[in-house]
Amino acid sequence: MSLLQISTTPTLVAPVLLGAFDGWIDAAGAASAAAQHLAEGSDVVATFDGDALFDYRSRRPVLDVVDGSLARLMWPEITIRRSTYGGRDLLILAGPEPDFRWREMGETISDLALRLGVVQWVSLGAIPAAVAHTRPVPVLATASAPGLLREDAIQGPQGLLRVPAAALSVVEMAVAEAGIPAVGFFAQVPNYVGGPYSAATIALLENMGRHLGVELPLGMLAEDAIAQRSNLDDLVAAQPEARDYLQRLEEGSGQEMPSGDELASEIERFLREQGSDGPL
């Protein structure tokens, strides 16, 4: 049985395929929030077979019980939706990170991308890092070949970075191996942030917009970022150890890019803390 069910085959002009999964490589949900923001109100192009991709014991469907009756089940779902911004067609692949059949999914998506004439793949992600919420959100970029990124993009880190892989990376590599240029933008989220972080979502949208040469709307994200910043300021102010830690981060904020070892250390810490109450 095919993993993919196509709902419609739209007429597209030089479409870009954007991918973001929640779960690993989505610290604070920043990348999946960007994808959801761009896909809001858009048409579904294709859906994936959730029964083949998810372990429902680890990602259970949500059940509504109304007046003592089982009324509705909401299943985890991965979709591809189509939006248009600034004359650019965006195909937005988003949903929970799948549990199974990653390689098959990568092959299925790369085949679909070729059929639809996709000219570029863009990964969006967010990683925990030793950065301060009082400073602009750093964004690291990756590319499948030289010359794909703007000159002002910060590509890296240099050298070898060995970390647990994400399903998104498997899909990106499959698309790139099919001959489609691929880039990625990864916001660095303060390692003490435990909830939504709209500042990182905004940074991802702005970096992707500059890369594609279009202005992407931010909607209410800017107001959300201001409110979250105020909440973080209050939380840090109430904890002397947190104030000291923030000061150390601010003093080191002149560093353009963390080393591979530093990123790997933060990522390993982030993964260990999953399932716990987490930081602030």
Six-digit token string for 67? 């007046």
CATH number at residue 66: 3.40.50.10900
32 assigned to some structural domain: yes
In a domain, 170, yes or no: yes
List the domain range (segments joined by +) for residue 111.
4-273
With both helix axes pointing from N to C terminus, report the angle between 198-212 and 221-237 in degrees, rounded to the nearest 10. Answer: 140
Tell me, yes or no, whether 81 lies in a domain.
Answer: yes
Please indicate, yes or no, if residue 278 is contained in any of the structural domains.
no
* Residue 280 domain-assigned (yes or no): no
- 120 within some domain: yes
Residue 227 belongs to a domain: yes
Residue 279 lies in a domain: no
Number of domains the chain contains: 1
Query: What does the pLDDT look like over 173-222, one tens digit per residue?
Result: 999 999 999 999 999 999 999 889 999 999 999 999 999 999 999 999 99
Tokens 């703007």 belong to 150
146-179 per-position pLDDT tens digit: 999 998 898 877 788 888 899 999 999 999 999 9
Model-level pTM? 0.88
